[in-house]
Amino acid sequence: MPGLTPFMEWMDEYRVDIEAIDRQHQGIVALINEVHHAMLTDAPPLVMDGIVRKLTTYAEEHFDFEEQCMELCHFSHLTEHRCQHREMMRRITAFGAGIQEGDRSTYQALLDFLMEWLGEHILKSDHRYKDALHAAGLR
Ligand SMILES: [Fe+2]
Ligand SMILES: [Fe+2]
């Protein structure tokens, strides 16, 4: 979004130092900024619906990729991590339903969810697999 000061910026502390994953995680920051911008400009539900569709595809691909990496290096907390991903997918599906029903409170809930994903899931759960993936030679 040229000309706009982003609501969120990517920070080094989010990095897990695996190039593909860091690139994917930057996508979350971009989605946060998209949702924030859509709320600020009072974008029509169709725009928000488009963002959630994009988020759904993003999350499916990203979770799948991370789980494959964790499987590859026999990460011991894979089951727990996979459960967290499933729960996040369930919430994303619910946001999609809320938006399609025209429930505008979904917008703030979606923004909060994405912020939580960045601040909780990436910084805590994703950072837990970092050493195991590095030890397996993933960069
Ligand atoms: Fe992740
Ligand atoms: Fe994850």
Q: What is the pLDDT of residue 65?
A: 98
Which residues are CB-contacts of 123 (< 8 A; sequence separation ≥ 6)? 13, 14
Q: What is the pLDDT of residue 5?
A: 82
Tell me the CA–centroid distance for residue 125 and ligand 2, in Å: 6
Ordered by start, the domain boundaries in the chain are 16-135
Q: Are 63 and 50 in contact (CB under 8 A)?
A: no
- Integer Cα distance of 100 and 121 in angstroms: 26
- Read off the pTM: 0.95
The superfamily (CATH) of domain 16-135 is Hemerythrin-like (1.20.120.50)
Percent of the chain predicted with pLDDT > 70: 97
Per-chain residues with Cβ under 5 A from ion ligand 1: 126
Which residues are CB-contacts of 31 (< 8 A; sequence separation ≥ 6)? 51, 54, 55, 58, 114
For the ranges 1-5, 49-53, 57-61, the lowest mean pLDDT is seen at: 1-5
Q: What is the DSSP letter of 7?
A: S
Residue 10 pLDDT class (50, 70, 90 cuts): very high
